[in-house]
Amino acid sequence: MRKILRDNRGVVLLMVLATIAFFTVLVVSFSADQSLDMELAYNFRDSVQAQQIARAGIEAARVILKEDDPAYDSDDEEWGSFSEYAMGASMYLDGPSFSGTLADECGKIDLNSLVTEGEQLYREAQLKYLFELLEIDITDEELDELMKSLRDWLDPNDEPEFGGAESEYYQSLDPPYICKNGPLDTPEEILLVKGMKPEYFYGTENYQGIKDYVTVGTGGKININTASRTVLLSISRTYLTEDVVDVIEDGRPFLNEHDRSRIQGLDLNDPSDEMKWIKNTLDVKSSLFSADINGNMPSGARINIKTVLQRFQNDVRIVYYKIY
C-alpha cells in the first residue's frame, strides 16, 4: 500500500497547529463577558481555525506536487489520491479536519487556445464538437455566433467579426461592461461573452454543461493520461474515434512522447495538418492543477478554498486563490 504521509508533510501540519493555537488565544482575549460577545468570538475563532486548516490542505497539495515526478502525470500517482491523503492527515489534528480534491487541469480544453495562431480552425472544431458530444441544446447558428464572440473577447483588437461582439455591444447592456480583448482569467468568465448562457456552462437536468471539461492557462496541451473520454473524443472526429479512445484508456499511463506510439489506430506520423496539430496537442505531463479544499471544525464551521497551482521546475506556485 502506498505510504501517504511523509515527515515534511507532518511538519506543515504541526506549523499550522501552532498557528491555530495562536489565533485561538488571540480571539478569545478579544471577547467580553457577555454571552453574545462570547458566542460571536467563538464563531469567529472557529472560522479562523477552519481557514487555517484549509490552508494546511493547500500546503499539503503543494508539497505532493513538488515531490511528484514531472516526467509524466497520471491519476494513479499520489496527487490523484489526495482525498485519501487528507483523510489520513486529518487524524493528526484531533477534531479539526481538511478534505478536498486535487485535479489536473491539463486534461481539459483551454478556452484561451481558441485564438492560438495557426490552430484556430482545429481549436474551434474541438470546442464545437464538445457542445455536440454533451448534447447541449444550441443551434448551429447560435454556436457559430458564440465562437465568433469568444474570439472577439480573446483577441487584442476591438473590431468585431460578423456576428461577433466587441465593446460597443457590451456597453449597450445593463449594466454595461467592456470587452476583455485578452485571455480569460477563469473558465467562468466565458459567461460574460455574448451568446454564452448559464445552462451551456453549468448544464441542466437534460444535459451536462462544459464546466468540467474546460479550463484556462494550460497553453492548449492535453494530457492523455488524465483527459476524460469526452475531451479525448472532442480532439478529432476523424482520428480520435471511439475505438482509438478505448485504446488510450486501456493503455494508460503513457510515460513519455515515444510511448504514445502504443496507441493502436492513431498514426502520429500521418503527414496531414490535422495530425500534426493532434501530435502537438497530446501530452503525457501536466503543469496546472486545481485544489478544492475544505477546512472543517467540530462546531460545524467550514471554510472552502479553491486554488489553482502551477508547477515549475522546482516550485509549485499559487496562481489563483479564492475563499468561500
Q: What is the pLDDT of residue 304?
A: 97
In this model, does residue 64 exceed pLDDT 80? Answer: yes
pLDDT of residue 223: 98
Question: Which CATH architecture is the domain 120-205 placed in?
Answer: Orthogonal Bundle (1.10)
Q: CATH 1.10.40.60: which residues of the chain? A: 120-205
- The grid coordinates of residue 235 equal 480532439
Q: Average the pLDDT over 211-231 and give the result.
A: 98
Rounded average pLDDT over 312-318: 91
104, 73 Cβ separation under 8 angstroms: yes
* pLDDT in the model for residue 35: 62
Question: What integer best gives the mean pLDDT of the chain?
Answer: 90
Strand 316-323 relative to strand 302-311, pairing? antiparallel
Task: Give mean pLDDT, residues 257-272.
Answer: 94
Average pLDDT estimate for 307-311: 97
For 241-245, what is the mean pLDDT?
98
5: number of CA atoms within 13 Å, CB side?
13
CB atoms within 10 A of CB 111: 26
Q: How confident is the model at residue 43 (pLDDT cuts 50, 70, 90)?
A: confident
- Lowest-confidence pick of 45-49, 62-66, 152-156, 274-278: 45-49
CA 140/CA 142 separation, integer angstroms: 5
